[in-house]
Amino acid sequence: MKQTSTEIKMTHAEAIGLLKQHDQSHVLQFLERLDSAQRDGLLNQVAGLDWVTLARIRAMLKHTPSDGAAVPVSGIEPAPVVSLSADKQAEPRATGEKALGSGQVGVILVAGGQGTRLGYDGPKGTYRLAPLSNVSLFEIHARKILALERRYGAPIPFYIMTSEGNDAATRSFFDENKFFGLSRERVKFFVQGTLPAFWPDGRIVLESPGKLFAAPDGHGGILAALDRRGMLADMQARGVKTLFYFQVDNPMVAIADPVFIGVHLQHASEMSLKVCAKRDPAEGLGVVVVREGRQAVVEYTELTDAQKSARRANGDLVFKFGSVAIHLFSLSFLQREAAAGLPLHQAHKKVGFCDEAGTLVKPAKANAYKFEKFIFDALPDARTAVILEFAREDEFAPVKNAEGDDSPETSRLALMEKFARWMSSCGVLVPRDAAGRLVHRLEIDPVYANSPEELKKRLPPGFSIHADVLLK
């Protein structure tokens, strides 16, 4: 669905005609009981519908198994993955650093998600995650960009995708925090699109008598949004050629890692991915494959149990490497893909709706289909693509769930363990208890040191740990 806005207008008669033509007349069934503001809101939502996409969705629903399950993929092989030992990194690092120093690198953050699993009230980026300073995910990311700008002496524009539901809160959080020291002129927010939810018979779900149910159109919605919101033009105007892409929930991400950028540029890659070995067969990461001669990412829900757990003779999983949504794109590829569009994925979900009487109902089980686009679906279109392995313990500990795996607790611990390794590499003794757990909490502000090498230069002589340590 295109963005609804007060400028989009449609008359009642036009809406009736369009909805009838597309078998969606039920959308206006409560029109008589709406006040004029509610009517305008609904008509604007209808005016913003993208009927081409809706026709695709209805065609998909016709072929959906009645249990709503994803159809497993076949004919896939594991994709080739580049692993770079430390002694092979100097050359790509130099290439990446040159690109950073010449102002040709920009950063894209997708932060439009609803964060349902975390159950936190507010944009996920405002979640206070840092182990000691208690600063937010947004602040951790922003301080890394600031550190890079200082280190390489060049601007790094920061493009942040929000969604209708969290855009205002995200902008005011940055504002209240003075953009965490970044230049406001280089931080650009843009809102992604939405898609309605559908009943199995192809009718749009009404959330309330005057409102269609609409949810963000997935991180893949970024391609259209970058274009529609003028971000691709902004990148071009600033002379940016390479874009580093990441998700809001991973505080460990090595933003604009120069080695990754160097490998990407040396291969003249259009889209590159960082991947790590999956924790176990059931981990919910998409895996990198070759399908019909093209590299691709296949979602874990599209793999059979046999595919997920198949192992080689050496014990490794056949589909060993998971994508963690850390990418690099050439600007020209983003421009091309924005015009091409991405496939849609459907998910059978619990969707609140209003019944025939106009009463709101919260279903106990999945009742309708939501649709999303995924950014990794751009991969098969890349003429050249590089997939680079990274060490999970250094760069990936997402905050997805409130408790258990991939929760704030595991993410904080992974961060502190990383800082402990950095300190150990500087010759600092890191105290641990008998069970091997850290005795003190550790945190390093990215502007103080953004790598073990930087830490080595900054740590005062004779530095030792006797209590919690916050280096900033």
Least distance from C-beta 215 to ligand UTP, angstroms?
7
Q: What are the two backbone dihedrals, phi and then psi, of residue 162, each rounded to the nearest 5 degrees?
A: -115, 180
Give the range of 201-209, 244-252, 279-287, 452-460 binding ligand UTP by CB under 6 A: 244-252
Least distance from C-beta 282 to ligand UTP, angstroms?
17
Amino acid at 432: R
Least distance from C-beta 11 to ligand UTP, angstroms?
31
**249 binding ligand UTP? (CB under 6 A):** yes
Where does residue 37 rank: exposed (0-12), middle (13-18), buried (19+ CB within 10 A)? exposed
Please, are residues 220 and 372 in contact by the beta-carbon 8 Å criterion? yes
Give the range of 33-41, 215-223, 350-358, 440-448 binding ligand UTP by CB under 6 A: 215-223
Least distance from C-beta 96 to ligand UTP, angstroms?
23
Q: Transcribe 149-196 into DSSP letters.
A: HHHHTS---EEEEE-TTTHHHHHHHHHHTGGGGS-GGGEEEEE--EEE
**121 binding ligand UTP? (CB under 6 A):** no
**112 binding ligand UTP? (CB under 6 A):** yes
Indicate the residue among 53 and 247 with the shorter CB distance to ligand UTP: 247
Indicate the residue among 161 and 344 with the shorter CB distance to ligand UTP: 161
Where does residue 199 rank: exposed (0-12), middle (13-18), buried (19+ CB within 10 A)? middle
Q: Which of 49, 161, 223, 416 binds ligand UTP (CB under 6 A)?
A: 161
Residues 382-401 that bind ligand UTP (CB under 6 A): 400
**251 binding ligand UTP? (CB under 6 A):** no
Contacts of residues 228-232 at CB distance under 8 Å and 24 or more positions apart, as own/partner, are 228/2, 228/3, 228/193, 229/190, 229/191, 230/190, 231/159, 231/188, 231/190, 232/331, 232/334, 232/335, 232/338
Indicate the residue among 76 and 111 with the shorter CB distance to ligand UTP: 111
**404 binding ligand UTP? (CB under 6 A):** no
**116 binding ligand UTP? (CB under 6 A):** yes
**226 binding ligand UTP? (CB under 6 A):** no
Q: What is the CA radius of gyration of the chain?
A: 24
The residue at minimum Cβ distance from ligand UTP is: 113
Q: Which of 53, 170, 242, 247 binds ligand UTP (CB under 6 A)?
A: 247
Where does residue 250 rank: exposed (0-12), middle (13-18), buried (19+ CB within 10 A)? buried
**111 binding ligand UTP? (CB under 6 A):** yes
- Alpha-carbon distances of 246 from 132, 221, 273, 328, 347, rounded to whole Å: 24, 14, 10, 9, 23
In whole angstroms, give the CA distance from residue 391 to residue 408. 20
Least distance from C-beta 125 to ligand UTP, angstroms?
8
Hey, what's the torsion of the CAs at 99, 100, 103, 109, to 10 degrees? 120
Q: How big is the chain, counted in residues? A: 472
Please, are residues 156 and 243 in contact by the beta-carbon 8 Å criterion? no
Q: Which of 96, 218, 322, 446 binds ligand UTP (CB under 6 A)?
A: 218
**117 binding ligand UTP? (CB under 6 A):** yes
Give the range of 64-72, 86-94, 115-123, 171-179 binding ligand UTP by CB under 6 A: 115-123
Least distance from C-beta 4 to ligand UTP, angstroms?
16
Please, are residues 28 and 16 in contact by the beta-carbon 8 Å criterion? yes
**191 binding ligand UTP? (CB under 6 A):** no
Q: Which of 110, 140, 243, 382 binds ligand UTP (CB under 6 A)?
A: 110
| 432 DSSP assignment | B
Q: Which of 186, 188, 219, 264 binds ligand UTP (CB under 6 A)?
A: 219
Amino acid at 147: A
Please, are residues 213 and 198 in contact by the beta-carbon 8 Å criterion? no
Give the range of 116-124, 136-144, 147-155, 351-359 binding ligand UTP by CB under 6 A: 116-124
Indicate the residue among 190 and 319 with the shorter CB distance to ligand UTP: 190
Footprint on this chain of ligand UTP (rule: CB under 6 A): 110-117, 124, 161, 163, 192, 216-219, 221, 247-249, 400
